Amino acid sequence: MEKDAVVSEIVRVLSPYLGATMAAASTRAQCEKLGIAGDAISAAQAEALIAKLAAGLAVFVGREKSALVVGEIRRAIDPGARA
């Protein structure tokens, strides 16, 4: 998958909950922490990124809402995804 496209979709979904700046900064920071670099991102890397972001998101919106947002992120990245 193209990393920029995945990151853009994640930021787009997170922005209503965290604000655009925080969503972008959090996503970039987690990419760096996970060693996600270059132009491509594997499905496993994307899932690791989503998991890291979900943990922080739960602090802001609660676990239940975080789970819904994670599902929305997965569908945005892969429209065929179920959750």
The DSSP letter of residue 74 is H
- For 34-59, the pLDDT digits (tens) are 999 999 999 999 999 999 999 999 99
What is each CA distance from 58 to 15, 40, 67, in whole angstroms?
A: 14, 27, 8
pLDDT at position 78, please? Answer: 86
In 3-state terms, what secondary structure has residue 6? helix
Phi first, then psi, for residue 40 (nearest 5°) are: -115, 155
pLDDT surpasses 70 at 4 = yes
Segments making up each domain of the chain, as ranges: 3-77
4-26 average pLDDT score: 96
